[in-house]
């Protein structure tokens, strides 16, 4: 499959590391060898500097503003110069090419347009590659399915949970032209990948990013390997650190992803703690790209649930649920504290025996939960990021 910028994406690693070293020195005056001694940047730094305190260029040189959703507090504002937007479009064009898109490919973009980076990020990447973009944004799910069929889109871009919601309205995936999907903006599992692939008849690929660092396209999977997302290492230097101690971890070990932007002008960040848990590998890939690959996001440092002293990530519950063939990949976790003890209710669609599911969660995760198996359509569908966890403890 053609690579969008092979001169960069297949750079031999010693040359790539030399380029990273140069850019790090230029941007931050820091030597590569001394990176691990630098302090971290956190989301709270961006919040404290709200809205424009961390900008490194005059505001009038910025041509675009985006913001994080602010679901965990005040939104963070990010800004882009013209060059930042060009680099972002390149990164998203690389991701689309890695999924098999090229000039003329019809791309159905159901990520939300607006302050959220998903919609416009993929939109300009698709145009950069020469694709024909259908800028549907989220919402009106039956129409999404109809447009997919009528316009013959080959690539679908949206959150994995929204892909499933669209699939509810696709009676026969054989009538669609879809070949691949770029799914991201929320953690998901291999089980969900299989469910989406069979429901929509496409190859489901992971795309990763966050607004503070750029938006979607920090990394993306290739169709050849579908085994970890290639990080655009000419633009981003990534590390994995122990979330508690902050010490760097070796390749293959899961920890918190830390990201340094190497080319950004408006909002460069040195050692930004993403809050996303993942691991890295620099093993060669079948596709020929030399960029390191990151695993799926295994969870977020701040969405770990502690239920009666047991630490558990929603993605672990998802994995356990999807291992039961009678269950559907639609679920919601409700956490309450009616008395002194936390109570977790797992609501999941399907036809399995609730007691068997409860025992399975207990044996696999050590988790005590109430399980409600409900008929298809009873769990609320998302039109963007899924609301997997409803935490009623703080209200």
Q: Which stretch binds Zn ion (CB under 5 A): 131-139, 164-172, 287-295, 341-349?
A: 287-295
Q: Which stretch binds Zn ion (CB under 5 A): 57-65, 149-157, 283-291, 376-384?
A: 283-291
Among positions 335-374, residues that touch Zn ion (CB under 5 A) are: none
Give the residue, chosen from 202, 277, 285, 317, that forms a contact with Zn ion under the rule CB under 5 A.
285
Among positions 193-222, residues that touch Zn ion (CB under 5 A) are: 222
Site mask, Zn ion, residues 23-52, x = CB under 5 A?
------------------------------
* Cα–Cα–Cα angle for 72, 77, 79, rounded to 5 degrees: 150
Number of H helices, E strands in the chain: 10, 21
Would you tell me how many other CB atoms lie within 10 Å of the CB of residue 75? 18
* Cα–Cα–Cα angle for 379, 382, 383, rounded to 5 degrees: 150
Give the residue, chosen from 258, 287, 317, 352, that forms a contact with Zn ion under the rule CB under 5 A.
287
CA torsion sign for 154, 296, 215, 116 is positive
Length of the chain: 395
Which phi-psi region, left, alpha or beta, contains residue 73 (left: φ > 0; alpha: ψ -120 to 50)? left
Closest distance between Zn ion and the C-beta of residue 293, in Å? Answer: 7
Instruction: Indicate the pairing of strand 327-336 with strand 343-350.
Output: antiparallel
Q: Is 180 in the site for Zn ion (CB under 5 A)?
A: no
Q: Is 294 in the site for Zn ion (CB under 5 A)?
A: no
Closest distance between Zn ion and the C-beta of residue 297, in Å? Answer: 18
Distance CA 68, CA 78 (A): 8
Closest distance between Zn ion and the C-beta of residue 222, in Å? Answer: 3
Residue closer to Zn ion (CB basis): 10 or 301: 10
Residue closer to Zn ion (CB basis): 145 or 222: 222
Among positions 129-158, residues that touch Zn ion (CB under 5 A) are: none
Would you tell me how many other CB atoms lie within 10 Å of the CB of residue 355? 10
* Cα–Cα–Cα angle for 300, 304, 308, rounded to 5 degrees: 175
Burial 173-192 (b: 16+ CB within 10 A, else e): beebebbbbbbbbbbbbebb
Site mask, Zn ion, residues 218-247, x = CB under 5 A?
----x--x----------------------
Residue closer to Zn ion (CB basis): 251 or 326: 251
Q: Is 3 in the site for Zn ion (CB under 5 A)?
A: no
Given the rule CB under 5 A, which residues bind Zn ion?
A: 222, 225, 285, 287, 289
């Amino acid at each position: 499959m053609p690579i969008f910028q092979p001169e960069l994406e297949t750079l031999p690693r010693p040359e790539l590391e030399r380029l990273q070293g140069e850019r790090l020195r230029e941007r931050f005056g820091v030597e590569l060898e001394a990176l691990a001694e630098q302090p971290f940047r956190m989301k709270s730094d961006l919040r404290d500097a709200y809205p424009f305190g961390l900008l490194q260029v005059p505001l009038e040189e910025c041509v675009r503003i985006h913001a994080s959703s602010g679901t965990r507090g005040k939104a963070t504002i990010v800004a882009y110069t013209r060059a930042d937007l060009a680099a972002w479009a390149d990164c998203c064009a690389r991701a689309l090419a890695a999924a098999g898109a090229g000039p003329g490919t019809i791309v159905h973009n159901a990520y939300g347009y607006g302050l959220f980076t998903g919609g416009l990020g993929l939109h300009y990447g698709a145009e950069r590659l020469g694709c024909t973009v259908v800028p549907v944004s989220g919402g009106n799910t039956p129409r999404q399915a109809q447009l997919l069929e009528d316009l013959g889109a080959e690539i679908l871009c949206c959150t994995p949970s929204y892909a499933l919601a669209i699939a509810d309205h696709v009676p026969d995936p054989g009538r669609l032209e879809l070949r691949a999907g770029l799914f991201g903006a929320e953690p998901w599992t291999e089980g969900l990948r299989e469910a989406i692939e069979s429901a929509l008849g496409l190859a489901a690929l992971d795309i990763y990013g966050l607004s503070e660092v750029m938006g979607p396209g920090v990394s993306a999977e290739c169709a050849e390997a579908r085994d970890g997302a290639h990080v655009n290492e000419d633009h981003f230097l990534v590390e994995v650190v122990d979330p508690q101690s902050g010490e760097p971890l070796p390749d293959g070990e899961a920890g918190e992803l830390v990201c340094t932007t190497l080319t950004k002008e408006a909002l460069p960040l040195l050692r930004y703690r993403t809050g996303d848990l993942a691991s890295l590998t620099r093993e060669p890939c079948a596709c020929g790209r030399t960029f390191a690959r990151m695993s799926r996001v295994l969870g977020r440092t701040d969405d770990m649930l502690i239920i009666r002293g047991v630490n558990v990530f929603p993605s672990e519950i998802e994995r356990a649920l999807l291992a039961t063939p009678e269950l559907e990949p639609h679920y919601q976790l409700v956490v309450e504290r009616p008395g002194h003890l936390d109570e977790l209710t797992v609501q999941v669609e399907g036809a399995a025996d609730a007691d068997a599911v409860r025992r399975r969660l207990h044996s696999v995760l050590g988790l005590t939960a109430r399980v409600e198996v409900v008929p298809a359509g009873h769990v609320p569908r998302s039109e963007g990021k899924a609301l997997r966890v409803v935490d009623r403890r703080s209200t």
